[in-house]
C-alpha cells in the first residue's frame, strides 16, 4: 500500500501536480482563515542514531510551528506498532506497514532526551503559500485512510519522505544539488557507515541483502539515510536561493560509544567454531575417522541459513534481498545432505559428488566477491573456511580407504 495521496502524486505528470495541490488546498480551507499565520515556520528535524537496530540509522520528520495559533507539532512517517497483527510475519515478507503520526513537539523531543540522541533542525525558507500547501498535504496525508504506507528500507521510509514531499509541493522551483558529495557510495556501503562491522546486526544485514544493493546510489538515493537528507538540504536551492534559512541544534546529547565485549561479538564465536572444527578435523585425519555430529551441525546450520535467504529472495516483497550470492556458501540443499552425513554408515557416493559441487560453489563465490559482483561481510570468510575444511576432509574420507 502506498502512502495515501502521495502515491498518486508520484505517478501523476508534473504539469498537473501544482493544480492538484491547489484544488486540495481549496477544498480544505475554502471559507476559512489561512491555515497558518505569517509567523509560522516549517522545518525538517534530523535525529541521531540510537542503540537499537531500528534506530541505528537515525530519523527524519517535519516540524510545524505557529506561535500565533499555538501549533507546534511533528509529522512523523517513522511510526510502526510491534503489536500490530502479524507484525513479524509482515516484516519478514516485506509487507511492513508504517504510519504517519502527529504529536506535539515536546512529546517527540522527550523520547530523544531519554534515549540520549541528538536532534538538529533545519528551518525552511518558504513563502506563505508554500507553507500552507505543505501543511494541507501533511494534514490530508494524516487522515486515517491515507496515513499508512508500505515501508521499504531503501526507497520509501521516514527519510525519503522528506525530499519526496518537498519535491512534490515545490515542484521545479526546487533544485537538489549533487556536487556536495565528495564520493558516492553503494547502498551497502551507506548501510555499513551506521553499523559496527563486528556486530551481529551488521553480519545479519550483509547476509540477508543481495547484490542489488551493491550498485552505486545516486545523490538523491543517498537520502534514504537521515544524515544525507540533512546534508542534501543544505545544498538545495529554492527559486535560486538556499532552501534552508537556518540550522540549529535542538538537542546536544549523545550516546557514549562503548565497544562491546569481544566475547559477545560474532568474530569471537566464529573463530571459536573455526578453531573447534580445525581441531576435530586434525584428530579425524590422524585417526582416519569422521566426526558425524560435527558434519551434521555444519551442513544443517548452513542449509537452514540458506533456506532463509532463499525465502527472502523468492517469497517476499523485499527488493534488497534478491540476487543474493550468499546462497552459494549457505546452500539450501545442505539441509538434506546433513542427514546423510549423520548416518553411522558411510554416505552414498552421491554425497561425495555433492560435496565437490558445494566446494566449487565456495570457490566461485570468492571469485565473484573479488570481481565486485557482490560485497560480502568480511566475517563470512571464517565460516566459509570452516565449511571448506570439512568439505575437503569429507571428499578425501569418502575415497577408497587405500587412497587416504
Of residues 14 and 272, more confidence is placed in 272
Determine the Cα–Cα distance for residues 65 and 306; give it in Å rounded to an integer: 50
Handedness of CA 78, 82, 86, 91 (dihedral sign): positive
* Chain segment 217-274, per-residue pLDDT in tens: 999 999 999 999 999 999 999 999 999 999 999 999 876 767 889 999 999 999 999 9
The predicted-structure confidence for 115-132, as pLDDT tens digits, reads as follows: 999 999 999 999 999 999
What percentage of the chain has pLDDT greater than the value 70? Answer: 87
From CA 254, how far away is CA 273, in angstroms rounded?
36
Could you tell me the pLDDT band of residue 387, with boundaries at 50, 70 and 90? very high
The pTM of the full predicted model, rounded to 2 decimals, is: 0.85
| d(C-alpha 176, C-alpha 200), whole Å | 36
Q: Give the three cell numbers for residue 361.
A: 560453489
- Please tell me which residue, 137 or 8, carries the higher pLDDT value: 137
User: Domain ranges in the chain?
Assistant: 5-181+219-251, 262-398
CA angle centred on 203, ends 329 and 299, rounded to 5°: 30
pLDDT score for 401: 52
Helix axes 161-170 and 14-29, enclosed angle (nearest 10):
90
Which of 71-85, 373-387, 390-404 has the highest average model confidence (pLDDT)?
Answer: 373-387
Q: Are strands 244-251 and 119-124 parallel, antiparallel or unpaired?
A: antiparallel
What pLDDT sits at residue 402? 39
Q: Which residues contact 402 (CB under 8 A, 6 or more apart)?
A: none
pLDDT at position 134? 97
Mean pLDDT of 56-64: 96
| DSSP percent split of the chain into helix, strand, coil, nearest 5 | 50, 15, 35
Residues 161-170 pLDDT 10s:
999 999 999 9
- Work out the average pLDDT over 61-71: 96
Arithmetic mean of pLDDT over the chain: 89
Query: What pLDDT was estimated at residue 365?
Result: 97
Closest CA relative to residue 371, chosen from 327, 325, 332, 310: 325
- Percent of the chain exceeding pLDDT 90 equals 79
Amino acid at each position: 500500500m502506498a502512502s495515501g495521496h502521495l502515491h498518486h502524486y508520484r505517478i501523476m505528470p508534473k504539469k498537473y501536480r501544482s493544480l492538484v495541490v491547489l484544488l486540495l488546498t481549496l477544498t480544505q480551507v475554502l471559507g476559512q482563515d489561512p491555515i497558518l499565520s505569517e509567523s509560522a515556520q516549517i522545518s525538517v528535524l534530523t535525529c541521531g542514531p540510537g542503540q537499537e537496530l531500528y534506530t541505528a540509522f537515525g530519523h527524519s520528520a517535519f516540524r510545524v510551528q505557529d506561535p500565533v495559533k499555538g501549533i507546534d507539532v511533528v509529522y512523523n512517517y517513522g511510526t510502526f506498532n510491534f503489536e500490530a497483527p502479524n507484525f513479524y510475519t509482515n516484516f519478514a515478507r516485506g509487507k511492513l506497514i508504517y504510519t504517519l503520526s502527529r504529536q506535539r513537539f515536546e512529546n517527540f523531543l522527550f523520547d530523544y532526551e531519554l534515549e540520549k540522541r541528538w536532534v538538529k533542525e533545519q528551518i525552511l525558507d518558504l513563502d506563505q503559500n508554500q507553507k500552507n500547501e505543505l501543511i494541507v498535504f501533511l494534514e490530508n496525508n494524516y487522515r486515517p485512510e491515507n496515513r499508512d504506507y508500505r515501508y521499504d528500507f531503501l526507497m520509501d521510509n521516514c527519510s525519503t519522505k522528506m525530499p519526496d514531499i518537498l519535491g512534490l509541493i515545490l515542484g521545479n522551483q526546487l533544485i537538489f544539488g549533487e556536487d556536495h558529495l565528495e564520493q558516492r557510495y553503494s547502498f551497502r556501503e551507506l548501510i555499513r557507515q551506521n553499523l559496527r562491522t563486528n556486530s551481529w546486526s551488521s553480519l545479519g544485514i550483509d547476509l540477508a541483502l543481495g547484490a542489488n544493493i551493491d550498485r552505486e546510489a545516486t545523490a538523491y538515493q543517498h537520502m534514504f539515510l537521515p544524515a544525507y537528507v540533512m546534508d542534501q538540504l543544505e545544498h538545495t536551492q529554492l527559486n535560486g536561493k538556499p532552501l534552508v534559512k537556518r540550522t540549529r541544534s535542538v538537542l546536544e546529547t549523545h550516546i557514549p560509544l562503548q565497544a562491546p565485549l569481544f566475547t559477545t561479538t560474532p568474530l569471537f564465536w566464529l573463530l571459536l567454531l573455526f578453531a573447534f572444527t580445525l581441531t576435530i578435523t586434525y584428530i579425524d585425519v590422524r585417526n582416519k575417522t569422521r566426526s558425524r555430529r560435527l558434519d551434521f551441525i555444519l551442513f544443517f546450520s548452513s542449509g537452514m541459513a540458506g533456506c532463509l535467504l532463499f525465502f527472502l529472495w523468492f517469497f517476499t516483497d523485499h527488493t534488497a534481498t534478491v540476487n543474493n550470492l550468499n546462497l552459494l556458501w549457505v546452500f539450501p540443499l545442505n539441509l538434506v545432505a546433513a542427514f546423510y552425513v549423520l548416518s553411522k554408515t558411510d554416505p552414498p557416493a552421491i554425497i561425495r559428488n555433492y560435496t565437490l559441487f558445494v566446494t566449487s560453489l565456495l570457490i566461485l563465490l570468492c571469485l565473484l566477491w573479488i570481481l565486485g559482483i557482490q560485497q560480502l561481510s568480511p566475517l563470512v570468510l571464517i565460516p566459509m573456511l570452516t565449511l571448506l575444511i570439512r568439505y575437503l576432509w569429507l571428499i578425501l574420507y569418502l575415497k577408497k580407504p587405500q587412497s587416504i
